[in-house]
Structure 1
Amino acid sequence: MALALAACGKNGPEFSIVSGSENTVIEPIVQEFCAQHGATCSFKYEGSLDIGLALQSADGVEQDAVWPAASVWVDMFDTSRRVKQLTSIAQTPVILGVRRSKAEELGWVGKPVYMKDILAAVKDGKLKFLMTSATQSNSGASAYLAMLSSANSSQSVIEPGDLDNPTVQDTVKSLLAGVERSSGSSGWLADLYVDAASKGTLYDAMWNYEAVLKETNDRLKPLDQELLYAVYPADGVAVADSPLGFVDHGRGADVQTFFNDLLAYLHTAPIQQRIADTGRRIPLGGVTAKPEPDWNFDPTRLVTAIRTPEPAVIRQALDLYQAALRKPSLTALCLDFSGSMGGDGETQLQQAMQFLFTPERAAEVLVQWSLADRIIVIPFDGYVRDTLTTTGAEADQATLLSEVSSQSADGGTDMYACANEALKEIQKTPNLGSYLPAIVIMTDGRSEGDSAGFIAQWQGVTPHVPVFGITFGDAEKGQLDTLAAQTSARVFDGGADLAGAFRAARGYN
C-alpha cells in the first residue's frame, strides 16, 4: 500500500485509509471521488482488532483515516482519542445466512427464528456454520455478542457479572460448537463459502453482515448455486455502523479539507443510493436496496438491535471467548529450521514462538491458547526432527517453548514431510469433530518433497484440514499458495513481522 509521504502531491493530496474488509465494495466509490480531486488514495484492509491495536499503540495508525466495521473498536482502543469526526456511513446487521434447502429442512422459511432455535439445531447435529473469530473480526464479535445477549435474557444489556453466569456460558459455548470454519476476515469468509460451493463443498450456513450475504448470493447466482436464506434472529442482532474517522498527522489543512469533502460526498443523495444498492442500510436517508424475497433479504425490515455493552465489558467478553467459550483449536505448527534459516531467520522464528507461547503476551492481542486447545509443534528441515503434542495449559506451553528453543538451523527443506506428519497426528486426535483443525507451515525456501502425495493423504481425512502458510524472507511463495488454494486456506506474509503473521493465522483457527 502506498503510504502518505507528503501533505500534497503534484495533482492533489495523497490520502490513505485503513479499513475493514467489508468495505472493498465501497472502495471504487471513494476512488472515483479521489480521481475527481486529483488525489491519490490507498486502502489497507485489516481486521477490527488490528485497527484497534494500532490506535492503542504508541505510534498510532499510519493512515489518514480509519474505517472499521463498528465504532465500538475505536471506543475500546482509541484511549488517546486520535480519531476525529468519527461518522457513520451506513449500517448493516450481522445475521445468519442459511443454505435454502437447510433452512427448509429446519422449518425456518417464512417464520421468526430465535437464537434458541439455532442452538437446538446445533445440538441436534443439524446445523454447522462459518463465523469469523470474535476476537479478530467485527462480524464474529457481533454474532457472539448477540449470542450472549440472548443467553442473558434477564437483562437488557450485558453487565460484567453476567459473564460469570454458568448458564450464559454453557449456552454460548454450545452455540459456538457449531462453528465449522473460522477466519479473521468477513470478506475472506465469504470468499471461502463461494469458492467451496463452486468446488462442490456446501457449508450449511454463515454468520456475516446482511450486505456481505447479498454480495455472496450475487456471486452464487451466476454459478447456479443454492442461495443463502437470510435469518434475522428475532431476539436481537448487533448492527455495524461503518464509521469513517480522520487521524491528523499534521500534514496540513488541505488533508483535513479533503477528508471533510469526502465525508460530505459520501452523504450526498446519489452516493447514498449507490451505497444502499450494495445492501447497506442508510438510516433516515430515504434510500434502500430492493428487497429480494427469494432469499428473505429485506434492508427495510426493522430488526431488534441488542444494546451494546460498555467497552470494558466487551473486552471482558472477548477474553472469555478466547480463553473458554470458543470451539477449541487443534493446530499443527510446522517450523522450518533448515540451514537457510540461520541468523536472522532463526532469531525471528524463536522470537515469534516466545510471543505465541507466552500467555501474557498472546493475551494482549487476544490470541491466547485455552486449556481445551491441542497444539502440535513439528520442527523440520529436510526431515521431520521431532513431534511435540500438548494442550494449551501454561506449563505445556512452557515445555513447547523450551523444546523449540533448543532447535538450531541446519539441513535442507521438505515442508511436505512435515505436513504429512502433522496430518497423521491430527488424525489420531479423539473426537476430531469437536475441534477446529489446521496446519500452519512457516518456511523460508523452496521445498523438496512430494506435494501430490500429501494432497492424496489430505483428501482422505474428514473433516478436511486447511493448510495455512507463513512466508519468511525471500520464500518461494508459489508452493504455499498452491497448498493453501487446494485446502481452502491462505498464506500470510511474515517477512516484515513474523510474530504478527502467526497472530493473524491464529485468527483463522
Structure 2
Amino acid sequence: MMIRTFLTSLALTAALALTGCNSGAGPKFSIVSGSENTVIQPIVEEFCKQKGATCSFTYEGTLDIGLALQSDKGIEQDAVWPASSVWVDMFDTKRRVKSLTSIAQMPVILGVRKSKAEALGWVGKPVYMKDILAAVKSGSLRFLMTSATQSNSGASAYLAMLSSALGNKPVVEPGDLDKPDVQGTVKALLAGVERSSGSSGWLADLYTDSASKGTLYDAMWNYEAVLKETNDKLIGMGKEPLYAIYPADGVAIADSPIGFVDHGRGPEVETFFNELVAYLRSAPVQKGIADTGRRIPLGGVAAKADLNWNFDPTQLVTAIRMPEPAVIRQALDLYQSALRKPSLTALCLDFSGSMEGKGETQLQAAMQFLFNPDETGRVLAQWTPADRIMVVPFDSRVRTTLLATGDPAQQKSLVDKVSLQHAGGGTDMYACASRALGRMKDTPNLPSYLPAIVIMTDGKSEDASREFLDEWRATNPHVPVFGITFGDADKTQLDALAKATSARVFDGRDDLVSAFRAVRGYN
C-alpha cells in the first residue's frame, strides 16, 4: 500500500508537469493489459484524471491479447499493453497496433522459497537450468508457472528452457524443436509444475494467499518485479521470502510495450495516447515505475536492492535471443500438444431445469468447441492423448460419469454422448464435484497430472458446500474447483467455492470460447 501511495503521488506530480491543471473533458480511453501492470494502473489513472478523461483497464493474458489482434474481430480497446512486443510482432499480422513503445523491462526468473534455495545449495552461487532440472527430477523442487500458451511469463520461462536444452545456440531453427533429447529435457523440467494459470498476477496472488493459509509452495516462475511485489507482501505477513534465481544460461526479458489501436474515433484519441506515452516515459514517472522493481534501461534509476533475497535490478542478466515468430508458434504448439504436464480435468455439466433453452444450447455448443481439436488448436487450447478427462452431467444428482483421454476419437465420443443429455430436474453441483473428487483420488500416479474440477452452471444450486469442503480438505492433493457461468448466472456459490479451493470463476455468458480457453490455462 505504501508503494502504491508513493507511486500515485509521483504520478500526480508528473501529470501536473505535463498537463498543467487541465481538468476539461477528455476522451474515453480503454486499455487491455497484462495482469503484471495492475501496480501501474494508478499512475495511468492519475494522468487520466488530470486530462479529464475516462480511462478503463481490462486484464488479459498476453497471448490472449495477441490472439485477439490476429482474429477477424480484433481488439476492442484503444490501446494494448502486453508484457512483450514479441507477441505483437507475431500475432498482429493485420498491423492494427501503432506507435508501440517500451515502458520498462522485466526479466522472467525463478523465485525459490529461501529455505529451499539454501537446502539446494543455490544461495550465493550461479544456478543453471540443469541444476533446476536435477532438483525437479529428484523430487526436491516443484513450482508455480503460468501457461506458456496464455501468459508471457510462462512462455518466457518455457523458451528459456528450450534455449538451454539447445545449448543456447544463437538462432533456434524449426528443426531444432524436433530433437528427442531437447523435448525430453524440457518435458522433464515442465514436470515440476505444481499449479498453472493464465495470469502472472493471479499466480502471485495464489502464492501469497496460500502462504497466509499455511500452504507453502517451493517456487514460482514470474517477473522480477512481480517477485518483488510478492516478497513485499510475504515479508509484511512475517512469511519467508522467495530467493531470486537468475538462470545463468539465460532468461527472457519482457519490454512492457504500449501501443495504439485506431478505431476511427478521431485524432484527439491518438493525441491522448501519445501524451500518455510521453507521461509514462517522463523522468518522475520512470522513477516511480523503477521503484516497483521494473528496469529502466539507460534511465539511471532503479529500485533499492535487497540482497537478503538476491534482488538487484541493476545486475546484468544473460538474455536469450528470441526465435523468429514462426519458430515461436511451433514451440507453443509443441508445448500444448506434447511437452506440458498432462491435465486431469473433471467437467461438471449442469443439465438442471433452470438450464433449459439458452443455457442448454450454450452448453452443447461449448462441448462441440471444447472437444474439436481443429477449433481448440487454433487458440492453443487443445487436449493431448496424455490428458485425462471426466465429463459428469448432473441435475439434483449425478447422471453418469464419462471417461476419456484427449485422443481425437475419444473426444468425439464425448460430444456424441453429451448430445443425448437434456435439461430437467433440480441442481446440486456439489454432488458432481464430490463424484469428481472421488474419482481423482483413485487415479494412479496422480502427482504426474495437473488436476482440476470445472463446474459449468448457472450457479443456482442446492447448498451442500459445507459437506463438500469437509471432503475436499481431507483429500490430498487439494484440487482447485473452477467455475464457468452460463445463462442468467448467479456467481455467489461458484465464487465462494473457487475462493475456498484457490481457484477462480470465468464468465462464459458472452464469450464461451474465451472462457474455456482461459480455464484451460489453469489446468
Tell me the TM-score normalized by structure 1: 0.97
Match for residue 360 of structure 2? 346
Match for residue 242 of structure 1? 256
Q: Quote the Cα distance in structure 1 between the aligned partners of 2:411 and 2:140.
A: 35
Match for residue 36 of structure 1? 50
Is the CA contact 1:149–1:157 (under 8 Å) kept in the aligned structure 2? no
Match for residue 141 of structure 2? 127
Q: How big is the shift at 1:46?
A: 0.5
Q: Quote the Cα distance in structure 2 between the aligned partners of 1:82 and 1:416.
A: 45
Q: How big is the shift at 1:481?
A: 1.0
Q: Is 1:503 aligned with 2:513? A: no
Residue type at the aligned position of 1:307: R
Q: Deviations over 1:315-358 (max 9, x none)?
A: 00000000000000000000001111111111111111111000
Match for residue 403 of structure 2? 389
| Corresponding residue SS for 1:327 | coil
Q: Quote the Cα distance in structure 2 between the aligned partners of 1:393 and 1:70.
A: 34
- What aligned pairs does 1:258-269 form with structure 2 within 5 A after superposition? 258-269=272-283
Q: Quote the Cα distance in structure 2 between the aligned partners of 1:444 and 1:498.
A: 13
- What aligned pairs does 1:185-196 form with structure 2 within 5 A after superposition? 185-196=199-210
Match for residue 12 of structure 2? none
Q: Deviations over 1:81-134 (max 9, x none)?
A: 010110100000000000000000000000000000000000000000000000
Match for residue 15 of structure 1? 29
Residue type at the aligned position of 1:226: E
Match for residue 480 of structure 1? 494
Identity, % of aligned positions: 76
Change (3 A) 1:385 1:10: farther
Is the CA contact 1:97–1:231 (under 8 Å) kept in the aligned structure 2? yes
Q: Is 1:308 aligned with 2:322? A: yes
- List structure 1 segments (4+ residues) > 6 angstroms apart after TM superposition: none
Q: Quote the Cα distance in structure 2 between the aligned partners of 1:44 and 1:347.
A: 28
Match for residue 3 of structure 1? none
Give 5+ residue unaligned stretches, structure 2: 1-22
Q: 1:59 aligns with which of 73, 77, 81?
A: 73
Is the CA contact 2:168–2:320 (under 8 Å) kept in the aligned structure 1? no
Residue type at the aligned position of 2:370: L
- What aligned pairs does 1:342-491 form with structure 2 within 5 A after superposition? 342-491=356-505
Q: Deviations over 1:241-289 (max 9, x none)?
A: 0000011111111111111111111111111000000000001111111
Is the CA contact 1:324–1:370 (under 8 Å) kept in the aligned structure 2? yes
Q: 1:295 aligns with which of 309, 317, 330?
A: 309
| Corresponding residue SS for 1:332 | strand
Q: How big is the shift at 1:449?
A: 4.8
Q: How big is the shift at 1:154?
A: 6.1
Is the CA contact 1:349–1:498 (under 8 Å) kept in the aligned structure 2? no
Residue type at the aligned position of 1:414: D
Q: 2:132 aligns with which of 118, 121, 136?
A: 118
Is the CA contact 1:417–1:449 (under 8 Å) kept in the aligned structure 2? no
Is the CA contact 1:471–1:495 (under 8 Å) kept in the aligned structure 2? yes
Is the CA contact 1:340–1:445 (under 8 Å) kept in the aligned structure 2? no
Q: Quote the Cα distance in structure 1 between the aligned partners of 2:492 and 2:168.
A: 53
Q: Deviations over 1:396-452 (max 9, x none)?
A: 101111111111111110001100100011111100000000000011142115211
| Corresponding residue SS for 2:233 | helix
- What aligned pairs does 1:119-158 form with structure 2 within 5 A after superposition? 119-153=133-167, 155-158=169-172
Match for residue 88 of structure 1? 102
Is the CA contact 1:351–1:499 (under 8 Å) kept in the aligned structure 2? no
Q: How big is the shift at 1:155?
A: 2.0
Q: Quote the Cα distance in structure 1 between the aligned partners of 2:296 and 2:309.
A: 21
Change (3 A) 1:263 1:449: closer
Aligned pair count? Answer: 501
Q: How big is the shift at 1:295?
A: 0.4
Deviates more, 1:162-171 or 1:478-487: 478-487
Q: 2:175 aligns with which of 161, 178, 196?
A: 161
| Corresponding residue SS for 1:399 | helix
Q: Quote the Cα distance in structure 1 between the aligned partners of 2:504 and 2:459.
A: 17
Q: Deviations over 1:347-370 (max 9, x none)?
A: 111111111000010000001001
Q: How big is the shift at 1:467?
A: 0.3
Residue type at the aligned position of 2:389: I
Q: 1:494 aligns with which of 508, 511, 518?
A: 508
Q: 1:176 aligns with which of 190, 207, 210?
A: 190
| Corresponding residue SS for 1:335 | strand
Q: Quote the Cα distance in structure 2 between the aligned partners of 1:154 and 1:57.
A: 33
Is the CA contact 2:355–2:487 (under 8 Å) kept in the aligned structure 1? no
Residue type at the aligned position of 2:155: A
Q: How big is the shift at 1:308?
A: 0.3
Q: Quote the Cα distance in structure 2 between the aligned partners of 1:269 and 1:10.
A: 25
Q: Deviations over 1:450-478 (max 9, x none)?
A: 21111111112211100001112222211
Q: 1:24 aligns with which of 35, 38, 53?
A: 38
Q: 1:213 aligns with which of 202, 227, 233?
A: 227
Residue type at the aligned position of 1:296: N
Residue type at the aligned position of 2:109: I
Match for residue 14 of structure 2? none
Q: Quote the Cα distance in structure 1 between the aligned partners of 2:353 and 2:511.
A: 21
Deviates more, 1:454-463 or 1:201-210: 454-463
Q: What RMSD, in angstroms, separates the aligned Cα atoms of the two structures?
A: 1.0
Give 5+ residue unaligned stretches, structure 1: 1-8
Q: Quote the Cα distance in structure 1 between the aligned partners of 2:25 and 2:129.
A: 53
